Amino acid sequence: MSTIEDVAKLAGVSKTTVSRVLNNHPYVAENKKALVHKAMEELLYVPNSTAQRLRKQTTQTIAVLIPRISNPFFSKMVEVMENIAADNGLQLVVCQTMYDKKRELVYLDLVKTKQIDGVILASLENDWNEVNDYTNFAPIIFCNEYDDRAQVPTVRLNQFEGAYIGTKYLIDKGYNKIAKCRGNNLSGLVTDRQRGFYHALDEAGLPFSEEWTFTGVSLVEDGRRVLREIIEMENRPNAVFTGSDEVAAGIISEAGRLDVKIPDELAVMGFDDQQIAGLVTPGLTTIHQPVDQIGKRSMEVMIDLLHGKGRMDEQLTLLPLHLVERGSV
């Protein structure tokens, strides 16, 4: 591999001049510029980006933390983010926490060791107190997930409202025994959804049984299990608020297998409006989250931060969500 010095020698100029050509500096004579370019081609010269990084103290790399990329919501989000990153000459490192606190901290350490310029948190496993310190090392922003204590830019939806309108829709359709599902952690997002759910119930004066809360539910297979558990229940709910299209799809599919009528015997409310919502039978009535916009806006906020625009302290972007009717309710 040839270096900037080889090019300088061959072109008969100094390293500085070569560097200037490389960085499109003004004040380089055209003839020297040509000489340098010729030398570069001759030597098949390519700048070593690691050396550039060391010198410039920047990596042109940002990390996005998600639970797992095979969740369609996140893969779509990452698709959008990566496209914008690429357009801006940035690399995107995908970090899957796999719902694990330790893995999350290992990824955050990348920031300490100067391996990345910024972090987009699209999920959060640890308590914010564990994470807060990392904000000293590089810009960290929230995307979709959030925490009230965090003084960092956040791009998200009103999850309280999302859960509220979903639940209210079920209630307005006459369902009065509504179960709900959630994963394992209780993040800002999950907490707000719970609040929205209960608020709709309270408003309508409907009861809620703890028996109707399913936890640790996030995959299609979990949805199948939930349906099987529901139909075995003594006091059986007639609707379920899933908080996830994957879970909802599992419920619907299993219902088809076991000949449980959707929505007559059980109404199913999804969340996300993933592609699958339009492919199951019946189609999934769900809360549409504008995942493209969330991903796009988040990456833009991050890029602004990297360019010194925008402030690191609180700055909230709230995106709209809405209900999509398809037939499962």
Partner DNA sequence: ATGAAAGCGCTAACAA
Partner DNA sequence: TTGTTAGCGCTTTCAT
**What are the residues binding a copy of itself (CB under 8 A)?**
1, 46-51, 53-54, 59, 61, 68-70, 72, 75-76, 78-79, 82-83, 86, 91-96, 98, 103, 106, 109-110, 112-115, 220, 249-250, 252-253, 256, 275-276, 278-281
Q: What is the identity of the amino acid at 12?
A: G
Min dist CB 59 to DNA, Å, is 13
CA 129 remoteness from chain centre? 20
Size of the site for DNA (CB under 7 A): 28
Burial class of residue 243 in the structure, from the number of CB atoms within 10 Å of its CB (0-12 exposed, 13-18 middle, 19+ buried): buried
- DSSP-assigned letter for residue 177: -
Q: State the residue for tokens 């983010």.
A: 81
Min dist CB 123 to a copy of itself, Å, is 14
181 sits in which H/E element: strand 178-181
Which string of x and - marks every residue 24-43 that binds DNA (by CB under 7 A)? Answer: --xxxx-xx-----------
Q: State the residue for tokens 């719970």.
A: 194
Residue 68 binds which entry of DNA, a copy of itself, none, CB below 5-8 Å type-dependent? a copy of itself
CA 232 remoteness from chain centre? 35
Min dist CB 34 to DNA, Å, is 11
Q: Are strands 61-66 and 153-157 parallel, antiparallel or unpaired?
A: unpaired
Closest CA to 299 of 147, 149, 130, 117: 117
Q: State the residue for tokens 């931060």.
A: 305
Q: Given the complex with DNA, which of 4 and 217 has the nearer CB atom?
A: 4
Q: Given the complex with DNA, which of 55 and 309 has the nearer CB atom?
A: 55
Could you say whether residue 111 binds DNA (CB under 7 A)?
A: no
Burial class of residue 326 in the structure, from the number of CB atoms within 10 Å of its CB (0-12 exposed, 13-18 middle, 19+ buried): middle
**Paired tokens of 156:** 């998200």
Residue 205 binds which entry of DNA, a copy of itself, none, CB below 5-8 Å type-dependent? none
Q: Given the complex with a copy of itself, which of 7 and 201 has the nearer CB atom?
A: 7
Could you say whether residue 22 binds DNA (CB under 7 A)?
A: yes
Residue 288 binds which entry of DNA, a copy of itself, none, CB below 5-8 Å type-dependent? none
Which string of x and - marks every residue 40-79 that binds DNA (by CB under 7 A)? Answer: -------xx--xx-xxxx----------------------
Residue 20 binds which entry of a copy of itself, DNA, none, CB below 5-8 Å type-dependent? DNA
Residue 79 binds which entry of DNA, a copy of itself, none, CB below 5-8 Å type-dependent? a copy of itself
Residue 72 binds which entry of DNA, a copy of itself, none, CB below 5-8 Å type-dependent? a copy of itself
**Paired tokens of 172:** 């307005």
- DSSP-assigned letter for residue 272: B
**Paired tokens of 155:** 């791009």
Other Cβ atoms less than 10 A from the Cβ of 248: the count is 31
Q: At a CB cut-off of 8 Å and minimum separation 6, what does 275 contact?
A: 72
Min dist CB 172 to a copy of itself, Å, is 26
Binding span for DNA by CB under 7 A among 16-24, 77-85, 135-143, 236-244: 16-24
Q: Given the complex with a copy of itself, which of 119 and 163 has the nearer CB atom?
A: 119
Is 141 within 8 Å of 174 (Cβ atoms)?
no
Q: What is the identity of the amino acid at 72?
A: P
Q: At a CB cut-off of 8 Å and minimum separation 6, what does 242 contact?
A: 180, 181, 217, 223, 248, 251, 268, 269, 270, 271
Could you say whether residue 14 binds DNA (CB under 7 A)?
A: yes
Contacts with DNA by CB under 7 A lie at: 1, 3-5, 12-17, 19-20, 22-23, 26-29, 31-32, 47-48, 51-52, 54-57
